[in-house]
Structure 1
Amino acid sequence: MAGDTRSGSLPGMTKFMAGRLLYILTLGLWCLSAAGQSSLNLQVVSPNGDPIHDARVEIPKRGLVAYSDARGRVSFTWNDSYGSSARVIVLPDFYPFLDTTVPVSDELIVLPLSESTGNLGEVVVTARRDTFNRSRLQAIEGTAIYAGKKSEVIRPSESALNLANNNAREIFSKVTGMNVWEGDESGIQLNIGGRGLNPNRASNFNVRQNGYDISPDALGYPESYYTPPAEAVERIEVVKGAASLQYGTQFGGLINFKMKGAPQIEGWEVLNRTTGGSFGLFNQFTSLGWRKGKVGTYVYGNFRRGNGWRPNSDYNSFNGFAQIEYNFSEHSKLIGEYTHLSYLAKQPGGLDDNMFEADPRQSNRERNWFGLNWNIFALRFSQKIGNDELNARLYGLYASRNALGFRNYRPTTEDPGNVERELITGEFQNMGLEVRYLNRFNTTYGPWATLYGVRAYAARNNSQQGLGSTGSDADFTFIDSEENLQSDYVYPNDNLSFFAEQLMTFGTRWTVTPGIRVEYINSRSDGYYREVQRDLAGNIIFNETFPGGLSRERSFVLAGVGVEYQLTESAQIYFNATQNFRAITYSDIHIVNPSFRIDENIEDERGYSIDLGIRQTSGDRWTYDVSAFLLNYDNRIGEVAQFDTSTFRIVSYRTNIGQALIYGLESYTSYTYLYRPEQRISSNIFLNASFVNSVYLKSALPQVEGNQVEFAPHINIKTGIEGTWKTWRGRLQLTYLSDQFTDAANDIDGGAPAVTGLIPAFMVMDFGLSYSAGRWQFETGVNNLMNEAYFTRRATGYPGPGIIPSPGRSWYVGVQVRL
Structure 2
Amino acid sequence: MRFTVFSLLFLCFGLTANAQFSINVSFSDISAEAVWPVEVYNKTTGEKFVLKQSPSVISVPENKAYDFTFYAEDFGTVDMTLSPSEKVVEVKFLKVELLSEVVIQKQREKLFALNKLRDVEETAIYAGKKTEVVSVDQLTVNKAVNNTRQVYSQVVGLTINEGSDGGLQLSVGGRGLNPNRTSNFNTRQNGYDISADVLGYPESYYTPPVEALQEIQVVRGAASLQYGTQFGGLINFKLHDPSTKKMEIVLRNTLGSYGLYTNFSSLSGTVGKFSYYTYFNYKQGDGFRPNSEFSSRNFFANLNYAFSEKTSIHFDYTNLNYLAQQPGGLTDLMFNQDPEQSNRARNWFDVHWNLFAFQLKHKFSSNDNFSLQLFGLDAQRQAVGYRQNRVSADDVPGSNRDLISGKFANWGAEARYLRKYKIGSQNNALLLGAKYYQAHNREFQGAGSTGSGPDFELADDAMTQYTYPNLNLAIFGENVFRISDKFSITPGFRYESIRTKANGFYRNVLYDLAGNVILDETINEKIDKKREIFLFGIGMAHKMDNGFELYGNVSRNYRSVTYNDIRTSTPGLAIDPGIDDEKGYTSDVGIRGKFNDKISLDASVFALYYGEKIGEYLAENPNGAAGLVRYRTNVGNALTYGFEAMVDWKLDRTFFDSPDFSWNVFANGALTGSEYLDSDAGNIEGNKVEFVPLVNVKTGTGVGYRNVLATIQLTYYSDQFTDASNSKSDPNDNTYGVFGQIPSYYVADLGLSYKWRNWKLESGINNFTNNNYFTRRATGYPGPGIIPSETRTFYVTLEVVF
Please, which moves more after superposition, 278-287 or 666-675?
666-675
Select 1:299's aligned residue among 273, 278, 283.
Answer: 278
- Residues 170-319 of structure 1 mapped to structure 2, 5 A cutoff: 170-265=150-245, 267-319=246-298
Q: Is the 8 A contact 2:493 2:537 kept in 1?
A: yes
1:299-340 CA-partner distances (Å, limit 9, x unpaired): 110000000011110000000001211111121111111100
Please tell me whether the aligned partners of residues 166 and 187 of structure 1 are also in contact (alpha carbons under 8 angstroms): yes
Q: Which amino acid aligns with 1:340?
A: N
**Cross-structure match for 2:630:** 652
Moved more, 408-417 or 397-406: 408-417
The answer for the alignment partner of 1:562 in structure 2 is 539
Residue aligning to 2:555:
578
CA distance in 1, matches of 2:200, 2:770: 39
Contact 1:53 1:69 in 2 (8 A): yes
Query: Are 1:609 and 2:609 matched, yes or no?
Result: no
For the pair 1:18 / 2:16, whether they are aligned, the reply is: no
Q: CA deviation at 1:757?
A: 1.1
Check if 1:322 corresponds to 2:307: no
Q: How does 1:38-77 map to 2 (within 5 A)?
A: 48-51=33-36, 57=41, 59=43, 62=44, 65=46, 68-69=49-50, 71=52
Unaligned runs of 5+ in 2: none
Q: Is the Cα–Cα contact under 8 Å of residues 77 and 108 in structure 2 kept in the other structure?
A: no
Match of 2:756 in 1: 773
Q: Distance in 1 between matches of 2:101 and 2:372?
A: 40
1:447 aligns with 2:431: no
Aligned position for 1:434: 414
Alignment partners' CA distance in 1, 2:232 and 2:569: 28
Shift of 1:624: 0.8
The alpha carbon displacement at 1:262 in A equals 2.1
CA distance in structure 2 between the aligned counterparts of 1:637 and 1:627, rounded to whole angstroms: 27
3-state SS in 2 of match to 1:402: strand
* DSSP 3-state at the match of 1:393: strand
Deviation sequence 1:365-423 (CA, Å, 0-9, x none): 00000000000011011001112111000010000000000001111011011101110
Comparing 453-462 and 283-292, the one that deviates more: 283-292
Instruction: State yes or no: 1:785 paired with 2:768.
Output: yes
In structure 1, what is the Cα distance between the partners aligned to 2:87 and 2:361? 23
Residue 107 of structure 1: how far off its partner (Å)? 10
| CA distance, structure 1, for counterparts of residue 27 and residue 202 of structure 2 | 40
Q: How does 1:611-760 map to 2 (within 5 A)?
A: 611-616=588-593, 619-644=596-621, 646-675=624-653, 678-749=658-729, 751=733, 752-760=735-743
Asked if the contact 1:70/1:264 (under 8 Å) is kept, the reply is no
SS in 2 for 1:682: strand
Q: CA deviation at 1:52?
A: 5.3
Q: Which amino acid aligns with 2:230?
A: Q
Distance 2:191 2:559 in 1: 20
C-alpha separation in 1, matches of 2:241 and 2:537: 34
Q: Return the offset for 1:118.
A: 2.8
Q: Given that residues 176 and 667 in structure 1 are in contact (C-alpha distance below 8 angstroms), is that contact kept between their aligned partners in structure 2?
A: yes
- After superposition, the Cα gap between the structure-2 partners of 1:96 and 1:322, relative to the gap in structure 1 and judged at 3 Å, is closer
User: Displacement of 1:570 after TM fit?
Assistant: 2.1
Give the Cα separation in 2 of the matches to 1:134 and 1:747. Answer: 42
Asked if structure 2 preserves the Cα contact closer than 8 Å seen for 1:71 and 1:264, the reply is no
Identity %: 42
In 1, are the aligned partners of 2:331 and 2:736 still within 8 Å (CA)? yes
Alpha-carbon deviation of 1:496? 0.1
> What aligned pairs does 1:317-356 form with structure 2 within 5 A after superposition?
317-356=296-335
1:529 aligns with 2:506: yes
Cα distance in structure 1, aligned partners of 2:581 and 2:491: 25
- Give CA deviations for 1:711-751 in whole Å, capped at 9, x if unaligned: 11111111100122112111101100111000111111265
- How has the CA–CA distance of structure 1 residues 226 and 110 changed in structure 2, closer, same or farther, with 3 Å as cutoff? farther
**SS of the residue 1:329 aligns to:** coil
1:671 maps to amino acid: W
Tell me the CA shift for residue 185 of structure 1: 2.8
- Contact 1:315-1:346 at 8 Å conserved across structures: yes
Normalised by the length of structure 1, the TM-score is 0.92
**Which residue of 364, 367, 375 corresponds with 2:354?**
375
- Which stretch has the larger CA shift, 397-406 or 536-545? 536-545
CA contact (8 A) 1:70 1:263 kept: no
Question: How far apart, in 2, do the equivalents of 1:615 and 1:351 lie?
Answer: 43
Corresponding residue number in structure 2 for 1:545: 522
Judging changes above 3 Å, is the alpha-carbon distance between structure 1 residues 35 and 533 closer, same or farther for their aligned structure 2 residues?
closer
Would the alpha carbon gap of residues 34 and 199 (structure 1) be closer, same or farther in structure 2, given more than 3 Å must change? closer
**Closer/same/farther in 2, CA of residues 139 and 75 from structure 1, 3 Å limit:** farther
Structure 1 residues 801 and 220: CA distance shift in structure 2, 3 A: same
Relative distance call for 1:110 and 1:158 in structure 2 (3 A) is farther
Flag the structure with more relative contact order, 1 or 2, with Cα contacts below 8 A and sequence separation at least 6. 1
CA separation of 1:599/1:763 partners in 2, compared to 1, >3 Å: closer, same or farther? Answer: same
Amino acid at match of 2:691: F
CA offsets 1:454-487 (integer angstroms, 9 cap, x no match):
00000111110011111111011111x43xx111
How far residue 148 of structure 1 moved from its aligned partner, in angstroms, is 0.7
Counterpart pick for 1:588 among 565, 573, 593: 565
**Secondary structure of 1:674's aligned partner:** helix
AA of the residue aligned to 2:302: Q
How many equivalent pairs are there? Answer: 791
Q: CA deviation at 1:650?
A: 1.1
Q: Which residue does the alignment assign to 2:393?
A: 413
**One-letter code aligned to 1:283:** T
Q: Residue 150 of structure 2: SS of its match in structure 1?
A: helix
Measure, in 1, the Cα distance between the counterparts of 2:671 and 2:744.
14
Alignment of 1:88 onto 2:68: yes
Preserved contact between residue 242 and residue 276 of structure 2 (Cα < 8 Å) = yes
The answer as to whether partners of 1:571 and 1:616 remain within 8 angstroms in 2 is: yes
Pairwise CA distance, 1:504: 1.3
Given the superposition, is the C-alpha separation of residues 741 and 98 from structure 1 closer, same or farther in structure 2, using an over 3 Å criterion?
same
Counterpart of 2:140? 160
Q: Answer whether contact 1:35 1:443 (CA < 8 A) is retained.
A: no
Which residue identity does 1:773 align to in structure 2?
W
Shift of 1:293: 1.7
Secondary structure class of the residue paired with 1:170:
helix
Give the Cα–Cα distance (whole angstroms) in 2 for the partners of residues 419 and 154 of structure 1: 47
Which one-letter code corresponds to 1:214 in the other structure?
Answer: I
Give 1:298 deviation, angstroms.
1.7
Please tell me the root mean square deviation across aligned C-alpha atoms, in Å. 2.6
Instruction: Quote the Cα distance in structure 2 between the aligned partners of 1:295 and 1:774.
Output: 28
Aligned to 1:4: none
**Structure 1: how far apart are the matches of 2:154 and 2:472?**
34
- Could you give the per-residue CA deviations for residues 466-522 of structure 1, whole angstroms, max 9, x where no partner exists? 11111111011111x43xx11101111100000011111123101111111011000
Q: Amino acid of the residue matched to residue 681 of structure 1?
A: F
1: CA distance between counterparts of 2:140 and 2:263? 18
Shift of 1:43: 8.2
Checking the alignment, whether the CA contact within 8 Å between 1:423 and 1:468 is kept in structure 2 is yes
Deviations 1:269-317 (A, max 9, x none): 1000000010111000001113222212221100000000111100000
1:125 matches 2:104? yes
The DSSP-based 3-state class of the residue aligned with 2:533 is strand
Question: Which whole-Å CA distance do the structure 2 matches of 1:565 and 1:154 have between them?
Answer: 24
- Once the two structures are TM-superposed, the CA of residue 572 in structure 1 deviates from its matched residue by 0.7
